[in-house]
Structure 1
Amino acid sequence: MLRKRATRIQAGGCGAAAVSSPSSAGDTIRIGTRGSALALAQTGVVAAAVAKASGSGVEIVTVATEGDHSTESLASLGGTGVFASALREALAGGACDLVVHSLKDLPTAGYPGLRIGAVPRRADARDALCGRDGLTLEALPAGSRIGTGSPRRAAQLRGWRPDLTVVDIRGNVDTRLRKVESGELDAVVLAAAGLTRLGRLDAVTEFFELGRWATAPGQGALALEVREDHSAPFAAMLKTIDHPTTRLAVFAERAVLARLEAGCAAPIGASAVIDGELLFLTATVYAPDGSSSLTSSHALVLEGSAAERAGLPWELGDRVADELLELGAAAIAPLGTAS
């Protein structure tokens, strides 16, 4: 059975030590999420998987975050943490048993008493252009206004089409698409995964291939964050939902961010793939004005014990990030601003 309720969690939630997760089938599992249409859509998919894997009832708890009610740019708000902090406080304080994050919005720094318990199979990691009159990026006339709230996308757009005007925007997917429909903007760039989950692929006029257009570390993937003290049955349920290949890839991408101490204000793209027993990782750092970029690519063989394999994404991410720093990444982008 699936139930929904809403709560607003204030800063300063209690620690997790005195809170336990459901321990047996039949206990209701409370899933925390933001209240946006996209967050609820992706949490609904997770809730169905949790119910199937656990045999328990599921309750969706919506949590208000700073990023949901502020109209300021993400960079000025302090980055990705504006979407994750309240969810993490709700989880640590016992208001829910797990929370669902868009992985690209989850800071790389850990939260006391919490861990990523599962990473479901990744959706489409590409960015997509939603343009007026079916226009692609190359077909947009000079001077066209194109909207994005992402410093990375803004840098890429300025690099590919310096003759366009990039407009900083906020709002949910439908709000952004309406700016194109109304003529306020000529196009917006959005995540293909979000458009898919909301059933809005009809608005896409072009998909940007990953080899040409790097996307945010973790884009298209979800993270199920849980308390560290959960029960064995709860851990078994999480293992059923986890997709090991996705986990390895997105952790490698996130390792680049962590090593570069980069947050939402840093224009960085990363993409990791697994081919056989090889984990490949490519990351690019962009100058905010799109005038230059630096790219590094490396690979590692996936071998050793389970514990050793779990550490390989971080080793690979460090290797890529170190090369970017050696190439001069800190001189072209605002690094050391992790959030």
Structure 2
Amino acid sequence: MPADSLETLLDNPAMREALSVVVERSKEGTEELRWRDVNDALSSGQWGRLIEQGVLSDAAAGGFVLSDPDRIASKLQSRDPGAEDGSDDADSSWSRWDKFGALGVVVLFAGYWNAGVRNAVAGIDNVVLGALAHSIPFYAVVIVLAAATGLYSTVMQDRLKDTELLERHQARMDDLKSRREAAKERGDDDALERIEAEQMEAMGDQWSVMKAQFKPMVWIMLVTIPAFLWMRWKVRGGHVAAGSAHVILPLVGRVGWQDAVFGPMPAWIVWYFLCSFAARQLCQKFLGIDPSGTSRSDSESTTSS
């Protein structure tokens, strides 16, 4: 049984539960099983998938036995939610702090519409950024903020992105697609029915994948939103020094910070996004981070091998 097949099964909560039932009723792999032994707890699609993936193999007496009971039992135990930090959410990779962070993002988002929240956040930011704004021109302050948030965003995205989960999910979807096409070609209606059931289960995993993708964004927005709110407060509140009231943008020329540049977008937003994009590209290059999730060292080792 391939290791990646077992990992794919364990990533699916329903299949993980089916595996637990099979391990328990086979007395941890010491006894043979037949469909009638588990049909009260497993669907026919789950039973068929365990056979297809090599978890269950033919036994001499006509039943099925676990192919590698020790490894399966060990993997199941390691996936036991009670074995990891006591989290009540077995399928969630979010810690308590992640959830508090998400709540903080919701509060900060209110600053885009609520002047009280915006002024409170900007006032706190100004304790640190106010001194910087008095020492250098405002366009340079935006460059510093863009570089700082760009570096932070790049590092957090690289550290918190669950690349393995995303890759396993994509591999599973590709596997289901290829198996479905093969079953159609040979006219195997039973296999098609099982694969369709697996596809429905895989769609249920989309929520876990979405949470894994959004998790880095929570910690990124906890820093970028306050910076953005401070810049908005600075520009729209008339707090920019008279000598820094304009900026020279590429292909546009000299414009005021609140002048519309691209459609309704004012110059200060365009300038920040340009600087932030450049900062992220430089950070990814110098830190050896691939946006797709592969580090430079990983790429080099793959190439050398």
User: If the length of structure 1 is used for normalisation, what is the TM-score?
Assistant: 0.21
Query: Per residue, is there more strand in 1 or in 2?
Result: 1
Structure label with greater radius of gyration? 2
